[in-house]
Structure 1
């Protein structure tokens, strides 16, 4: 059976290659990985003049509401991602789809909290996938800056879980 670290290495290799799908079978164990090939193309929308925007707010229509909502979301996303843009911050990402847990059991304290120092082999959380509890390591030395996932939340492959300021 493959170890979690071996699966991580396979995921990294596939992520860096042009392969879209990978299947591995050994001794009754089967691992199948698929890349997320959906691409998002950003659309730039010019802001209307001040007089036009006040007119839209005074008399909203069905056509104006859906068009204005995505523009607001697109404008807010870069602001929310600005801490991740810091080059000294490392994202610890989920190596698999599963359920995120901050502690080894409901009664126990979280593995790490904001401000904790971690080493590359420090366990920072658990991701449960198919009744297997996989310990996720920090992979870098540094300090936890932000916890990006909530306890019990379903996480996707590659989803950022923590931000770490590297030493």
Structure 2
């Protein structure tokens, strides 16, 4: 193959839109890559940005969330007769604790009068203990979650009579 044949082959490949052509003869081996390969490189780079979607490991956690939500009715969802009460709900997902330590008394019991800002319980999330404070003043009517049990976001924890 002479130089003119190689040049015409390069022009032909460029016009054809092919990104890569390999040609082998007895004495010559030619590989021609066009600029469209660079575009593929960009696409590959874009596809490699899928680690942004590594939120996919969080999606397997989502099927576990409904399972815990199914347990919520067993723990006591507020009924229609409780509609006159204010429901204090969990602001986060975690483990619900009624007392500050195993050897300490519960933060609140049924019948206790609470003021806005009083600590009602602790929810542990990722080794952080979050104190859950009362949003309203009133009287604890019902505790809806079991001690040391997992709770979901927006799961009812307490019923409070604001009167």
Gaps of 5+ in 2: 1-61, 67-72
Q: Who is 2:161 aligned against?
A: 165
User: Deviations 1:108-151 (Å, cap 9, x if unpaired)?
Assistant: 00000000000111000000000000000111000000000000
Q: Who is 2:143 aligned against?
A: 147
TM (norm. structure 2) is: 0.52
How far residue 83 of structure 1 moved from its aligned partner, in angstroms, is 3.3
Alignment equivalent of 2:88, drawn from 92, 113, 121: 92
Q: Who is 2:81 aligned against?
A: 83
Larger Cα Rg: Structure 1 or Structure 2? 2
Q: Kindly report which structure 2 residues correspond to 1:17-36, keeping only aligned pairs within 5 A, or say none.
A: none
Higher helix share: 2
Q: Who is 1:9 aligned against?
A: none
Gaps of 5+ in 1: 1-33, 39-72
Q: Kindly report which structure 2 residues correspond to 1:114-153, keeping only aligned pairs within 5 A, or say none.
A: 114-153=110-149
Aligned-residue Cα RMSD (Å) equals 2.4
Residue 111 of structure 2 corresponds to residue 106 of structure 1: no
Give the ranges of 4+ consecutive aligned residues of structure 1 lying more than 3 Å apart after TM superposition.
Answer: none
How far residue 85 of structure 1 moved from its aligned partner, in angstroms, is 1.7
